[in-house]
Amino acid sequence: MAFRYFVPALIWGILILFAVSMPPDRIPALKFFIIPHFDKLVHIGMFLVFAFLACFGFYSQNKNGIMHRKYLSLALLVSLLISLFSELLQHFFLIFRIASFFDFIANLIGTIFGVVLFGILLKIKPKFFRV
């Protein structure tokens, strides 16, 4: 297994967990981002990137291995586990954060978008993903 291909997803996953662990008053409020449910768009974006990077990590493994063949399923599974962990972390361990089912749904939507985007780009530009 070539761990180096998972480093971007790992770093992004740590950033996600750091972001959801921040107290709400420490998150800067920007006037032009006063959009209803803007936080859900942020969740979608964070998990879109994570799922995309996870797809790349699994896809870049040995071409005959199970991780390469099942890269979409594995990326979905890992992304959903990170999403679930982030919500459980907020629910059980962070007194200043609240877990939300709708955040989990937004994470799921971002995950699906990330996996689909990777699949589309792989079909359009397969040479870009050859390692």
pLDDT score of 128? 74
* Mean pLDDT, 10 residues at a time, the chain of 131 residues: 88 92 68 66 94 93 82 93 93 85 95 95 82 63
* Residue 118 confidence (pLDDT): 95
pTM over 0.85: yes
Predicted pLDDT of residue 33: 59
Q: Which two tokens stand for residue 85?
A: 């962990």
- Output the pLDDT for position 37: 65
Sign for the CA dihedral angle at 90, 28, 107, 51 comes to negative
CB 92 within 8 A of CB 44: no
